[in-house]
Chains A and B, each alone.
Chain A
Amino acid sequence: MIFLQQVVSGAAIGCIYALVALGFILIYKATETINFAQGDIMMIGAYLGFTTVDLWGMPYWQGVIVAVGGTALLGVIIERVLMRPMIGLPAFAIVMVTLGLGFLLRSLVTMVPGWGTDSHKLTTPYTGQVLRLGDLVVSQEHVVIIAVTIVLIAGLYVFFRGTRTGIAMQAASQNQMAAGYMGIPIRRLSTVIWAMSAAVAAIAGILLAPLTFVHAQVGLIGIKAFPAAVLGGFGSMPGAIVGGLILGICESLAGFYLPEGFKDVTAYILLLAALVFWPQGLFGQSVRKKV
């Protein structure tokens, strides 16, 4: 029973990893850019949620929607101001810019009045409650995380397979110039992708807030999303989700059954093992240069 508890709470954290990883993968698939600031955008989402719900007193679901929208707007601004000038430049430079962005975001939040350097609590209508499924006791927060993740993933799946925009995005990610010549507005798509990715990050941040509180270092959880994305085979959305879940569950079990300190490095040990034995990841794509 305890085992199952650990699995469920691990799955919940795994969903957070999965969502952050998903945000990464979205941007990576569309522009082959690694966004190192993804975790920090998640943090901003959490802060905005705190602002709308606790500082401004909006009802929870309304506040969440405003916060997610605000973060999506931030994504658009980042894309327009930072990423647009970088189109066509080597991937490495773009990565460095996102690193710098991460620094900037982390320090700017401490300068906003009302946010500062303290940890804040995000009030939700479901904190503290538990759900009982037979002998299993699951906290409401975990249930909400898992449920929302499932809904979000279903929505994204439909979007990418079913809609024209989604398919256009796939084309743009494979050959930008050809897609452009086919009439696909690659710049506008880039903006949409960043907005979506930021929104997903915000949702993850708001879901996570009841568990970790809202503070400037929350984004560093985003670093764990990398192993999740790699486990799933970088570039694959279902992979990111499976990777995140595996990571979360293994971490939770390691924390309970293994000696102290193992929990924190589980992610990285799993990652290194995956890279050595399955370099393509579980659902990965081959990368080979054609000569």
Chain B
Amino acid sequence: MAILQVENLSIRFGGLVAVDQVSFEVAPDQIFTIIGPNGAGKTTIFNLISRLYEPTSGRILFQGTDITRRPPHQIARLGMARTFQNIELFEHATVLDNVLLGRHVHARAGFVSQLCYLPGLRRDEKAFREVAERVIGFLDLESYRRTPIHGLPYGIRKNVELARALALEPRLLLLDEPSSGLTPTEARALAYRLKAIRDRLGIAILMVEHNLRLVSDVSDHVLAVNQGRILTAGTSDAVQRHPDVVRAYIGE
């Protein structure tokens, strides 16, 4: 069964239809990429799925549950994590703190337990740190563990955001332009990691991307959109060669 089903999703901002009757499905073991020129509505689709925007019509089903009207924090609890185009990290906290926040949905201790730092909380915190360390190791962030975010270079910040999302142990990862701002070497490392996430961790990935080489390298399925509407879908090669897609990118 598909892990994510989007049915006829639309949103209008005033008179502008930003997303128009978009439908697609993501399988639980897929890397699914959405491509399209700037302003095509890709991030808007993301924001709709992660519930930061309210759709005007349509349905979103995650693991069979209708999440169309659920608030964003519940989506995380259900197992969907995301990264942001412009990086939304907690600037004044350390890398470790940011990653630990990914474990928030797994926190069990009550208020009193946290106020008095009871053994139950202590156990939880140790378990959190073990998961956090594994994720930090996976993304080569060990030496930055205790550094506050606001001094870090861009590439490291992207990794921290990814680490935070992974720490949540999601079933579906939403990545908004994960390769933007990365050097070609970093982009190759990213490709390796994305495939490892899919194969070793069993997490499905839905991503928006501009780097077409990366798209071809990792994607199982590609969806092309323009002006809020679907142009075509299929394998990376088929989509990139489709005349509508070529026209959208290069112009008439």
In the bound complex, residues from chain A placing their C-beta under 8 Å from that of B143 are none
Cα-based distance from A261 to B42 in the complex (angstroms): 56
Cα-based distance from A291 to B208 in the complex (angstroms): 14
User: Interface readout for A275-291 with B: 1 if CB under 8 Å, 0 if not?
Assistant: 00000000000000001
Chain A residues bordering chain B, tally (CB within 8 A): 1
In the bound complex, residues from chain A placing their C-beta under 8 Å from that of B86 are 291
Q: Report the minimal beta-carbon distance from B198 to chain A, rounded to whole angstroms.
A: 25
Q: Report the minimal beta-carbon distance from B80 to chain A, rounded to whole angstroms.
A: 15
User: Interface readout for B78-113 with A: 1 if CB under 8 Å, 0 if not?
Assistant: 000000111010000000000000000000000000
In the bound complex, residues from chain B placing their C-beta under 8 Å from that of A291 are 43, 47, 52, 84-86, 88
Using CB atoms, name the residue of chain B closest to A290: B86
Cα-based distance from A291 to B43 in the complex (angstroms): 8
Q: Report the minimal beta-carbon distance from A89 to chain B, rounded to whole angstroms.
A: 15
Cα-based distance from A291 to B84 in the complex (angstroms): 7
User: Interface readout for B47-84 with A: 1 if CB under 8 Å, 0 if not?
Assistant: 10000100000000000000000000000000000001
Q: Report the minimal beta-carbon distance from B207 to chain A, rounded to whole angstroms.
A: 16
In the bound complex, residues from chain A placing their C-beta under 8 Å from that of B84 are 291
Using CB atoms, name the residue of chain A closest to B52: A291
Cα-based distance from A291 to B44 in the complex (angstroms): 9
Cα-based distance from A120 to B242 in the complex (angstroms): 82
In the bound complex, residues from chain A placing their C-beta under 8 Å from that of B52 are 291
Using CB atoms, name the residue of chain A closest to B50: A291
Q: Report the minimal beta-carbon distance from B181 to chain A, rounded to whole angstroms.
A: 16
User: Interface readout for A255-291 with B: 1 if CB under 8 Å, 0 if not?
Assistant: 0000000000000000000000000000000000001
Q: Report the minimal beta-carbon distance from B178 to chain A, rounded to whole angstroms.
A: 15
Using CB atoms, name the residue of chain A closest to B47: A291
Cα-based distance from A240 to B170 in the complex (angstroms): 48
Cα-based distance from A74 to B86 in the complex (angstroms): 41
Q: Report the minimal beta-carbon distance from B13 to chain A, rounded to whole angstroms.
A: 11
Q: Report the minimal beta-carbon distance from B152 to chain A, rounded to whole angstroms.
A: 19
In the bound complex, residues from chain A placing their C-beta under 8 Å from that of B43 are 291
Q: Report the minimal beta-carbon distance from A174 to chain B, rounded to whole angstroms.
A: 18
Cα-based distance from A233 to B188 in the complex (angstroms): 49
Cα-based distance from A291 to B52 in the complex (angstroms): 9
In the bound complex, residues from chain A placing their C-beta under 8 Å from that of B88 are 291
Q: Report the minimal beta-carbon distance from A31 to chain B, rounded to whole angstroms.
A: 23
Cα-based distance from A291 to B85 in the complex (angstroms): 7
In the bound complex, residues from chain A placing their C-beta under 8 Å from that of B47 are 291
In the bound complex, residues from chain A placing their C-beta under 8 Å from that of B85 are 291
Q: Report the minimal beta-carbon distance from A110 to chain B, rounded to whole angstroms.
A: 40
Using CB atoms, name the residue of chain B closest to A291: B84
Cα-based distance from A213 to B8 in the complex (angstroms): 67
Cα-based distance from A105 to B242 in the complex (angstroms): 70
Cα-based distance from A158 to B206 in the complex (angstroms): 52
Cα-based distance from A291 to B88 in the complex (angstroms): 8
Cα-based distance from A291 to B47 in the complex (angstroms): 8
**Which positions 70-91 of chain A face chain B at CB distance < 8 Å?**
none
Closest 5 CB pairs of A and B: A291-B84, A291-B86, A291-B88, A291-B52, A291-B47
Of the A-B pairs whose beta carbons lie under 8 Å apart in the complex, a sample of 7, sorted by A's number, is A291-B43, A291-B47, A291-B52, A291-B84, A291-B85, A291-B86, A291-B88
